Amino acid sequence: MPTITGNPARRFRAEKALPGYKRSVPDELETASWVEVDADSVHVRCEREKARQLRASAWWRRRLQRGICAYCGGKFAARDLTMDHVVPVARGGRSTKGNVVASCKACNTAKKLLTPAERLLLVQKIGEAPAGGEDE
pLDDT in tens, 46-84: 988 999 999 999 999 999 999 999 989 999 999 999 999
- Residue 82 has what pLDDT? 93
CA distance 92 to 88: 7
DSSP code at position 117: H
pTM of the complete model: 0.62
3-state secondary structure of 32: coil
How many C-beta atoms surround the C-beta of residue 93 within 10 A?
Answer: 18
Domains, the chain, in order of start with CATH, read 3-126 (1.10.30.50)
Question: 24-46: string of b/e by CB count within 10 Å (b at 16+)?
Answer: ebeeeeebeeeeeeebeeeebee
Angle between the 41-55 and 58-66 helix axes, to the nearest 10 degrees? 70
Tell me the pLDDT band of 113, cut-offs 50, 70 and 90. confident
